[in-house]
């Protein structure tokens, strides 16, 4: 990746008013990995820009303004996207409506059918928009809801939610900034649920540290946007960034990173589940691939969140040479996101360190 960067940087870099084959080639490679009609890429520099542009595209394509996001979401930091990041922002304009993330460990509803209740929460969010004379332009949704604590939806949830939003005239924006690029053991997080979004946003791993992100959509939606609006980003998708982007995908494919994430992710998760049997402070283990978390509690039966234990564990683990952080609606979840080249020895090192630190805790 560094060689690709150096080679292109010492040949030519320019903004994307000038077409360059790297831009086209990276777009074609990404499109080849996407399902359905998702064949148009617009390159930007950050996940925030991708979500900002995706919102503009959805609003232009549908003529609606309303946006649906989950409680305790994070989608980025521009003025618009900060408002869509309900974990950080308290701004609730008329065009915004919130639904409950589909947490199965701490159900937000006490009915018999959790799936129905969580889909109902999206339905209610659409109705709440209508009461304010708004219609949904889109739902912006994670495949694994990271910010509220690595929440995995019950089976069938995404199919039903996609259908509801589309019936109400909105599009589905899958925020794959974190769950994309093999992180969950499939190329795209949404692929676990057999759904095809209308717009996908990508970021974080796309440039393996180099600022590169994208919006991917269908030709039909892209055309509607292009006919009414325009977009220019000086650095987004420049020839150097797109050379890096191509090299990242070459490395993922050549080094079987996808297979590695699926295999080592399953191995790591089963190790975490053994720790769950051993230590009462662990209330739940969640996640797929190398997108994993452990929720810590003071009391297993009452599920009382233990944010202090999570903070202490992160510090104890740092002393063992393993960097974790805490997150979640109650700040009591240990966030485990190893690099995707993580191997079995690395996983063992993590699991032994966790065992030592839970013992100390
Ligand atoms: C799910 C998700 N979407 C969007 C973003 C924003 O990406 P960036 O920090 O590149 O603007 C993040 C960053 O943490 C994220 O986790």
For a mutational test of ligand 1's pocket, the pick from 51, 76, 146, i.e. the residue with the most ligand atoms closer than 8 A to its C-beta, is 76
Q: Whose CA is nearest to atom 13 of ligand 1?
A: 76
Tens-place pLDDT, residues 155-195: 999 999 999 999 999 999 999 999 999 999 999 999 999 99
Ligand 1 proximity of 52 Cβ (cutoff 6 Å): no
In the numeric block, which tokens belong to residue 125? 């969010």
Ligand 1 proximity of 189 Cβ (cutoff 6 Å): no
Q: What is the pLDDT of residue 29?
A: 98
Tens-place pLDDT, residues 295-305: 999 999 999 99
Ligand 1 proximity of 178 Cβ (cutoff 6 Å): yes
Q: Report the candidate in 338, 234, 307 with the shortest Cα–Cα distance to residue 15.
A: 234
Residues 351/275, Cβ–Cβ less than 8 Å:
yes
Q: What is the pLDDT of residue 16?
A: 85
| Cα 25 to Cα 20, 88, 182, distances in angstroms | 9, 37, 20
Q: Ligand 1: distance of its center to the CA of 276 in Å?
A: 29
Ligand 1 proximity of 291 Cβ (cutoff 6 Å): no
Q: What is the pLDDT of residue 347?
A: 98
Give the ligand 1 atom nearest the CA of 176.
1
Spatial distance between the Cα atoms of 53 and 48, rounded to a whole number of angstroms = 9
Q: Ligand 1: distance of its center to the CA of 75 in Å?
A: 5
Spatial distance between the Cα atoms of 195 and 141, rounded to a whole number of angstroms = 12
Residue for token digits 């998708």?
Answer: 237
Q: pLDDT per position in the chain (361 positions), as tens? A: 999 999 999 999 999 888 899 999 999 999 999 999 999 999 999 999 999 999 999 999 999 999 999 999 999 999 999 999 999 999 999 999 999 999 999 999 998 999 999 999 999 999 999 999 999 999 999 999 999 999 999 999 999 999 999 999 999 999 999 999 999 999 999 999 999 999 999 999 999 999 999 999 999 999 999 999 999 999 999 999 999 999 999 999 999 999 999 999 999 999 999 999 999 999 999 999 999 999 999 999 999 999 999 999 999 999 999 999 999 999 999 999 999 999 999 999 999 999 999 999 9
Ligand 1 proximity of 75 Cβ (cutoff 6 Å): yes
Ligand 1 proximity of 176 Cβ (cutoff 6 Å): no
Q: Ligand 1: distance of its center to the CA of 310 in Å?
A: 23
Q: What is the pLDDT of residue 17?
A: 87
Question: Domains of the chain by range and CATH?
Answer: 2-254 (3.40.640.10), 257-360 (3.90.1150.10)
Ligand 1 proximity of 46 Cβ (cutoff 6 Å): yes
Ligand 1 proximity of 95 Cβ (cutoff 6 Å): no
Torsion on CA atoms 148, 330, 47, 65, rounded to nearest 10:
60
Give the ligand 1 atom nearest the CA of 76.
6
């Amino acid at each position: 990746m560094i060689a690709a960067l150096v080679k292109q940087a010492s040949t030519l870099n320019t903004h994307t008013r000038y077409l360059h084959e790297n831009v086209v080639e990276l777009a074609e490679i990404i499109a080849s990995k996407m399902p359905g009609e998702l064949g148009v890429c617009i390159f930007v520099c950050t996940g925030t820009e991708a979500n900002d542009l995706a919102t503009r595209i959805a609003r232009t394509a549908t003529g609606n303004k309303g946006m649906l996001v989950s409680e305790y979401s994070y989608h980025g930091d521009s003025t618009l996207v900060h408002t869509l990041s309900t974990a950080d922002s308290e701004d609730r304009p008329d065009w915004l409506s919130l639904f409950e993330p589909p947490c199965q460990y701490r159900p937000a509803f006490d009915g018999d059918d959790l799936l129905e209740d969580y889909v109902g929460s999206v339905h209610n969010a659409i109705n709440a928009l209508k009461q304010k004379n708004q219609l949904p332009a889109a739902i912006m949704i994670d495949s694994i809801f990271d910010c509220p604590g690595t929440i995995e939806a019950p089976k069938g949830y995404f199919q039903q939610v996609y259908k509801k939003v589309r019936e109400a005239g909105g599009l589905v924006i899958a925020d794959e900034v974190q769950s994309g690029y093999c992180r969950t053991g499939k190329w795209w997080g949404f692929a676990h649920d057999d759904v095809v979004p209308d717009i996908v946003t990508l970021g974080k791993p796309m440039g393996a540290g180099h600022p590169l992100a994208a919006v991917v959509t269908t030709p039909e939606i892209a055309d509607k946007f292009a006919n009414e609006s325009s977009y220019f980003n000086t650095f987004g998708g420049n020839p150097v960034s797109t050379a890096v982007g191509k090299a990242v995908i070459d490395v993922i494919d050549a080094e079987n990173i996808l297979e590695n994430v699926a295999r080592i992710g399953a191995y790591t998760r089963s190790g975490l589940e053994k720790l769950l049997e051993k230590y009462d402070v662990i209330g739940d283990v969640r996640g797929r691939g190398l997108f994993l978390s452990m929720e810590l509690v003071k009391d297993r039966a009452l599920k009382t969140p233990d944010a202090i234990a999570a903070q202490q564990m992160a510090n104890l683990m740092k002393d063992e040479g393993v960097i974790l952080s805490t997150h979640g609606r109650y700040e009591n979840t240990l966030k485990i996101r190893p690099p995707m080249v993580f191997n079995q020895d690395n996983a063992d090192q993590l699991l032994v360190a966790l065992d030592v630190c839970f013992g100390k805790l």
